Amino acid sequence: METSWNKFKEVLEQRTNEHIPKIKIGGRAQPPWFDAESHQACLEKERLHKSYKETTDPSCKAEKYFKFSKSRSDFKKIASNKMASSFEDEDDSNLITKKFWSYVKATSKNTRIPEQIHLEDVHKTVVPETPKKATTAVAQTLTCDIGDVVTSVTVSWTDHAGAAITSGSGGYTIAQGTADPGTKIQKSTLTIDAATLPSVAGAGNPATYKCAAEYVEYLDSATSTFKDIVVNFLTFGVEAKGSEVLANTEATISCVVSGLSKQLEAVTWKKPSSGGVITDGIDSYAIVLGTYDLGTNIQTTILTVPAAENTADAVFTCVITSDEHAITSEETPVNSNVFSE
């Protein structure tokens, strides 16, 4: 512990001597760098942020956000410069240590010494998920994973058009999430209302959303690079594949269901002319419900019609239920035709 502390102080003093201008500083109870200029810049930032949040007119919101973003950047630069100029170790070898921890305390909600301090910038890595398969029928949730974080970060999202997203506006809801101390990962989610999805898909498929992370506790920690969250919208479809075989022989027919991101909730088959629902294994009928194929986004269900039931042309029906497409018991006719020798 003592060796680590001495090494940390040695590196900190070395970097200070190399990069920080030296001036004499009188003792003050408040953080030495937070003077009237810093205070005014902070107030201006907060004023512009409030104005941006209260603006509902889309035509004005982008301009308001730009002004707030610039003010926030200006405040960070002022605070960082003020903090840097407050260090002085010419006469007191312990002074730099005191000033450093004064800065940490002033910029963190935690008054204790942190468990970890990184030599470089605060680590935060946005880990994009693989392209998400989505539908336009039900609300969709995108996930942004932020790795290498020990305290929670603020996550920003932009929509498919590149505009900043405000939670609770435009059919969007953002959940910031919290940093997991075990995995050092924070999961932020963006939920898109079902009513918003058709216009998003109509503007272009796939659609690309973006997310980025920023430590608000550390004024000199830059926002991470925005990462793409790609959304591929799936179109539901059922293709009937009938058969034509010799009368009084076994026939195989099927329904190919496309545009899926998971297994269908339910599949049933019906006999011709409202003859009722077919049960697998009864009267020699055989049903294969099928398994969702991740690569093709398809599930194929197959019905085997026994020879005794295949004496004339008939129309069977496959019935599909898909929650992700908001489809309940959709019926598709499938022909089973026969011919004679």
Dihedral over Cα of 14, 15, 18, 20: its sign: negative
Give the DSSP letter of residue 277.
B
Q: Which two tokens stand for residue 95?
A: 């002074």
Provide the pLDDT for residue 105: 59
- What 176-182 contacts at long range (C-beta under 8 Å, 24+ apart), as own/partner pairs, is 176/152, 177/152, 178/152, 179/146, 179/149, 179/150, 179/151, 179/152, 179/153, 181/150
* 37 contacts 78 by C-beta, under 8 angstroms: yes
Note the pLDDT of residue 308. Answer: 94
State in Å, rounded, how far the first CA of the chain is from the last one: 93
Quote the longest CA-to-CA distance of the chain.
Answer: 110
Q: What is the pTM of this model?
A: 0.59
Per CATH, 125-233 and 237-339 having the same topology is answered yes
Strand intervals (E) in the chain: 125-127, 132-134, 140-147, 154-158, 172-175, 185-192, 207-214, 227-233, 237-241, 243-246, 251-258, 266-270, 286-288, 299-305, 314-322, 327-339
Residue with tokens 């003859």: 275
Instruction: Answer yes or no: CATH 2.60.40.10 is held by domain 237-339.
Output: yes
pLDDT at 18: 67
Whole-number Å distance between alpha carbons of 75 and 267: 60
Residue 131, classed as helix, strand or coil, is coil
> pLDDT averaged over consecutive 10-residue blocks of the chain (341 residues)?
64 69 52 75 85 78 79 84 64 55 57 44 54 93 86 90 95 94 90 95 92 69 78 95 95 97 96 91 95 95 95 96 96 95 79
pLDDT recorded at residue 82: 76
What CATH number belongs to 125-233? 2.60.40.10
pLDDT score at 100: 59
Q: How far is residue 335's CA from residue 329's CA, in Å, rounded to a whole number?
A: 19
Q: Which residues of 148-168 are buried (b: 16+ CB within 10 A; e: fewer)?
A: ebbbbbebbbbbbeeeebbee
Extents of the domains making up the chain: 2-106, 125-233, 237-339
The whole-number pLDDT of residue 141 equals: 94
